[in-house]
Amino acid sequence: MNLMEYQGKELFRRAGIPVPRGAHCGTAEDAAAFVAQNPGDWVVKAQVLVGGRGKAGGIKFAGTPEEARARANEILQLVIKNRQNPQGEPVRSLLVEAKLPIAREAYCAIAIDRTTKRPVVMVSKFGGMDIEEVAEQHPESIAKFFVNTAIGYSPFIGRTLAFAAGLDAGYRKQLPSILAGLYDLFFKYGAKLVEINPLVLTSDGQVFASDAKVELDDDALYKNPEFKVWQQTLPLDGDETLATQAGLGIRNFRRFDGNVGTMANGAGLAMGTMDAVRNAGGNFANFLDVGGGANAERVRSCYELIVNHTGAKSLFINIFGGITRCDEVAKGIVEALETTKSRKVPLVIRLTGTNEELGRKILAGAGMTPVETMDEGAAAAVRLTQ
């Protein structure tokens, strides 16, 4: 679950991270009324989940209620596009925020490093740029610290990174406490990424999070029921809406034009399954990562999602039993097919890993013939569509 800027900044406030004064506004009249009640210089920002809103005209300045109304109306008519989302996302709401006297811009973030299996704290003096661009053009500028979670975050980490990244001296006193807030937020809310870009140093020596990018792990949302309300306000496309209705993460399902349905546990295995279908001469109908805990209810909802909303003529279920046991998946498949009211399509099932032999016996007892390799399964699924 990706948060809008105003939502991310609400979490920043709770964590003690300084953010500019502002208000979330749904209409141009709301923006004008806020500025009327709070005279000053303001920035009107489009609230979207796609990047590049500044270049697209989604950030404008206003000093009066009339200007705020006019700028807000202009922004609310935009559909902001980028390389990741060429269709674009319409602007449905705004953040009206105090204009800062910017002297310097920096970057800081916390994410998970899969190699070390630790949170990595990153700081760079090149704020305002995409981190991918910074990594390509100025790789030496990104200072990193891999945190031992048994020990946790300490202020020396922030001081070390401030010097290692070559930040302006004005950042050094405040950066340790800002990173401490990010670290607490990261674990309290089950985040996969927390990012401030830019982290602004003002001309009078204050430091503010001028932007907020927060990505939460869907599997941790149950810890904070309030996020369900936020989730309902997020802009979801058709596939993301279907995924949430099926109990999946918004990125766990995507439709394509082929006729071989695919279901796997784990995004990497799901993409590998799609590649195997293509290598076998077929065309995949979808991407679907069923995630962990593939019980009967989850398998049935995913089966129905695929057969009801794609052109699948066959379905290749490819499960690696690590955390998920193959026998439980097999029981789920059998029960799902017995209880579903959706149309039936031929199944090809590959189970490998924990309790795989028991899983195959369960499938065989239900009259299903599982395959042993991914390529074998992909080829069989392609043949069943012909």
Known catalytic residues are 107, 195
Tell me how far apart the alpha carbons of residues 253 and 159 are, in angstroms, rounded to a whole number.
42
Tokens in use for 15? 């964590």
Q: How many CB atoms sit inside 10 A of residue 308's CB? A: 12
Give the Å distances, CA to CA, from 31 to 61, 98, 153, 214, 265.
Answer: 12, 12, 39, 24, 45
Cα-only R_g, the chain: 24
Please compute, for residue 148, the number of CA atoms within 13 A of its CA located in the half-sphere on the CB side.
2
Tell me how far apart the alpha carbons of residues 17 and 305 are, in angstroms, rounded to a whole number.
41
Tell me how far apart the alpha carbons of residues 34 and 97 are, in angstroms, rounded to a whole number.
10
Give the Å distances, CA to CA, from 252 to 40, 210, 348, 355.
Answer: 44, 31, 20, 25
Q: Are 106 and 128 in contact (CB under 8 A)?
A: no
Tell me how far apart the alpha carbons of residues 18 and 174 are, in angstroms, rounded to a whole number.
10
Q: Residue 319: helix, strand or coil by DSSP?
A: strand
**Phi and psi for 167 in degrees, rounded to 5?**
-70, 155
